[in-house]
Amino acid sequence: MAEIEHFVDPNEKVHPKFSNVADLEIMLFSSQAQTSGQSAQMMRLGDAVEQGVINNSVLGYFIGRIYLYLIKVGLSKDKVRFRQHMENEMAHYACDCWDAESKTSYGWIEIVGCADRSCYDLSCHSRATKVPLVAEKMLKDSYKTVNVIQFEPNKSAIGMAYKKDAKLALEYLAVCDDCYISDQEKLLSETGEFSFETDGKTFKLTKDMVSVKRFQKTLHVEEIIPNVIEPSFGIGRIMYSIYEHSFHIREGDEQRTYFSFPTIVAPYKCSILPLSQNQDFVPFIHQLAEAMTRNGVSYKVDDASGSIGRRYARSDEIGVAFGITIDFDTVNKTPHTATLRDRDSMRQIRAEITELPDIVQHLASDTLKWADVESKYPIFEGQESSKKE
């Protein structure tokens, strides 16, 4: 599990970078669509916020970033959707909540939750710790008048009822937020009492012990209880979805399977594959391995016996993104060259040995695309040398 706690001004839920994700087309399954029996639909993220489908642009921004993250690590666009919580499943304190869901062989499963939890988290912490968790905000004008609501405890009555524990009750009442006070005021009106627990002790206060006071106050610095936007990632479910969405079978050969992991998350970026166990290939293996290490590129050397095709298949099965093959043209010709193979297309190019580690590094960091490599280097059709000359 991994979580983000993003704090936001409850009166200004506008994200300055929302424009970066506003044009994303994402499959949304709103609560209204679920209620009316409609299916999920593709929708521009900016339109969803403008039309109120998504409550605010801060929540919308994180939905957009979650979507981009899931696609980047290997989930298929057509197998990702965001489902809005229905009223009967959303927490009472939440303004809005969406789950990123992945379509798998088990059906649609939740993999990331993204909720606007309003001020609930900090309010609960404040009541538990008796420390006001507020942020100060300079007012744009010199001052403003605000409506204030607070508990007005009858210290004498509470002291008579709870003796030395009265201090705990008074400290608790002093840090309660507006929403909580309003809820308890309603209980006082309806039942004549309300209860709470603090420091392991339970208190029941009646109308003669506490009342609610409302008044106006002039402020020069405003205190706000930040709201929390909380994306929560199910790492195991995301990883499972990556495996399932990335698993493929080679066309025309059901025995050959491979994982099309994006290069950025592939455990190994590159295999180094000598054509055979010929000792003339060893210096080139060492040269490439040392260069890959210097470049910070994860690689594996597969110099086991067996055909090069079998070893390609073995690398593909574990999702290695690229393969460098050292053959007799590498040994016999100068400048020394080797082939670079792309896992997904199985196409190969030929380039100088000294260039290949940098090419792989740029491919691994996603600053270079395979199409760019093919446009710059000759396509490999087959080696010309069959043995050392």
pLDDT in tens, 275-313: 999 999 999 999 999 999 999 999 999 999 889 999 999
Task: Look at residue 389 in the predicted model and tell me its pLDDT.
Answer: 53
Residues whose CB is less than 8 angstroms from the CB of residue 16 and which lie 6 or more positions away in sequence, other chains included: none
Residues 155 and 194 in one domain: yes
Helical spans, DSSP H, in the chain: 31-36, 45-50, 57-72, 120-129, 155-162, 166-174, 178-191, 235-246, 282-294, 308-317, 328-332, 356-364, 370-376
* 128 within a domain of the structure (yes/no): no
Residues 183 and 97 in one domain: no
pLDDT in tens, 70-87: 999 999 999 999 999 998
* 265 within a domain of the structure (yes/no): yes
Domain boundary among 233, 265, 286: 233
Q: What is the CATH number of the domain that holds 191?
A: 3.30.720.200
Residues 102 and 35 in one domain: yes
Cis previous bond, 335, omega within 30: yes
Total residues found in the chain within this entry = 389
Q: What is the CATH number of the domain that holds 107?
A: 3.30.930.10
Residue 231 and residue 58 in contact, taking contact as beta carbons nearer than 8 Å: no
Task: Look at residue 220 in the predicted model and tell me its pLDDT.
Answer: 78
DSSP 194: E
What is the domain extent for residue 201? 144-219
> Tokens standing for 110?
């939740």
pLDDT in tens, the chain (389 residues): 899 999 999 888 999 999 999 999 999 999 999 999 999 999 999 999 999 999 999 999 999 999 999 999 999 999 999 999 998 887 777 789 999 999 999 999 999 999 998 887 888 888 888 788 888 887 777 777 888 899 999 999 999 999 999 999 999 999 888 888 999 999 999 999 999 999 899 999 999 999 999 999 887 787 888 889 999 999 999 999 999 999 999 998 888 999 999 999 999 999 999 999 999 999 999 999 999 999 999 999 999 988 999 999 999 999 999 999 999 999 999 999 999 999 999 999 999 999 999 999 999 999 999 999 999 999 988 766 666 55
Residues 183 and 98 in one domain: no
Residues 8 and 77 in one domain: yes
Residues 17 and 107 in one domain: yes
> Tokens standing for 176?
């309660």
Residues 262 and 370 in one domain: yes
Number of domains in the chain: 3
3-state secondary structure of 197: strand
Residues 252, 80: Cα–Cα separation, whole Å: 28
Residues 188, 294: Cα–Cα separation, whole Å: 70
Residues 106 and 198 in one domain: no
pLDDT in tens, 152-169: 999 999 999 999 999 999
Task: Look at residue 385 in the predicted model and tell me its pLDDT.
Answer: 66
Task: Look at residue 280 in the predicted model and tell me its pLDDT.
Answer: 93
Is pTM beyond 0.95? Reply is no
Residues 204 and 274 in one domain: no
Residues 255 and 372 in one domain: yes
User: Would you say the C-alpha torsion 104, 106, 112, 118 has a positive or negative sign?
Assistant: positive
